[in-house]
Chains A and B, each alone.
Chain A
Amino acid sequence: MGRVITVTSGKGGVGKTTTTANLGTALAMRGARVAVVDADIGLRNLDVVMGLENRIVYDLVDVVEGRARLRQALIKDKRLPELCLLPAAQTRDKDAVNAQQMIDLTNQLRNEFDFVLIDSPAGIEAGFRNAIAGADEVIIVTTPEVSAVRDADRIVGLVEAAEKGPPSLVINRIKPRLVSRGEMLSVEDVLELLAIALLGIVPEDETIVIATNRGEAAVYDPSSLAGRAYINIAQRLAGEDVPVMAIPDQQGMLDRLLGLFRRRRT
């Protein structure tokens, strides 16, 4: 029986879809059977982020309404045969599915996959509630900004009220130089505010922009900071006993001193 894990955030634009795509890919690269599900009905995006937009025939709503069997709607990844996408419907709205249908769908999926990752829509309305309805675990993505952290806290409350167990946290788009200058909330600050367990951290990285442009996950480039970060999170999600990745401060004290040294030599 596979694990059903919903990736959600409250606030939009913090990296839910990027996180779902990268964790799904990283888990499949480890050899797990993974299904990623786009639950953002009407605002389909996981397909383009993963570069699978040209292959869609049926979608989640087609499956729920019986027009297609699950196997027909699942799209195989270009590189990883054990990775599948169930796309959202683009021309329907959030009311096209209900919570019970999502529970039935996830129960079907967990029979065939080790991990079922659900990309939740932003917000706290029906779309979000449907996305967590069938989940065993919830991952909350936030960035170190007041609006994102505030919305994340609302989601923590709602997830606890839905008796999903304590959610875990991914802090995305950390800028180490800003943190060290005291101008961005640190990982410790965010953890103190939200008081939930830390699953992992992802530094701000231009690789994400480029990888998304290409429709490839950043984890295919393990030399990139974000790629490494998502691999680390996937390891922890899979139960490996590895510490949260340390973000190298790109201009730490050592760099500053080396910088001085270099300037003198030239």
Chain B
Amino acid sequence: MSFLNGLFGRKRDSSAELAKQRLLTVLIDDRYKLTPEMMAQMKADLAEVLKRYLPAIDPDQIEVTLSRGEAHDLLKADVPLRRAADSQQHR
């Protein structure tokens, strides 16, 4: 079976894949002292502040991710906005 993994990419439940996913979480926690709970809290706080300026924000749709790069790591927030037609009523 192992050569099939080699040919068709790694199985999701391989121990190497598991190690990599565990390390990703641990390294971000180590570097930024940012636990998954704090990440959720940051997302909620972010939504609260942004909503003051952009009522068209749906807090449940916000996605915050930390990724690693060569020069620096990146904190990225994807904040989808409801279209203008919907937000008119808030004026």
A179 to B5, CA, bound (A): 10
> Does A157 lie at the interface of the complex (its beta carbon under 8 Å from any beta carbon of B)?
yes
A185 engages B19 (CB within 8 Å): yes
Known contacts A146-B23, A153-B31, A253-B6; decide if A184 and B68 are in contact (CB<8 Å).
no
B27 and A179 contacting across the interface, CB-CB below 8 Å: no
Q: Are A153 and B27 in contact (CB under 8 A)?
A: yes
Complex Cα distance, B14 from A192, in Å, reads 17
Q: Is A150 among interface residues, defined by CB-CB distance under 8 A?
A: yes
Contact count A vs B, C-beta below 8 Å: 59
Contact B16 A189 (CB under 8 A): yes
Q: Which residue of B lies closest to A249 (CB)?
A: B6
Contact A196 B5 (CB under 8 A): no
Report Cα–Cα, A221/B61, bound state, in Å.
Answer: 60
Find out whether the CB atom of B30 lies under 8 angstroms from the CB atom of A179: no
Q: Is B50 an interface residue (CB 8 A)?
A: no
> Which B residues between 1 and 56 are near A, CB-CB below 8 angstroms?
2-3, 5-6, 10-11, 14-17, 19-20, 22-24, 26-27, 30-31
**B31, A157: Cβ atoms closer than 8 Å:** yes
Residues of B within 8 A of A150 (CB): 23, 26-27, 30
Report if A183-B15 is in contact (Cβ < 8 Å); known contacts: A192-B68, A256-B3. Answer: yes
Residue on A nearest B10 in the bound complex, by CB: A182
Name the contact of A181 in the complex, choosing from B5, B22, B68, B69 (C-beta under 8 A). Answer: B5
Residue among B2, B68, B70 making CB contact with A193, cutoff 8 Å = B68
Please give, as numbers and ranges, the residues of chain B lying within 8 Å of A179 by CB-CB distance.
16
User: Which chain A positions have C-beta within 8 A of B19?
Assistant: 145-146, 185, 189
- Write out the residue numbers on chain B whose beta carbons fall within 8 Å of the beta carbon of A195: 68-70, 73
A residues whose Cβ falls under 8 Å from a Cβ of B:
145-146, 149-150, 153-154, 157, 166, 179-186, 189, 192-193, 195-197, 253, 256
5 tightest A-B CB contacts, nearest first: A182-B14, A181-B2, A182-B10, A195-B68, A189-B20
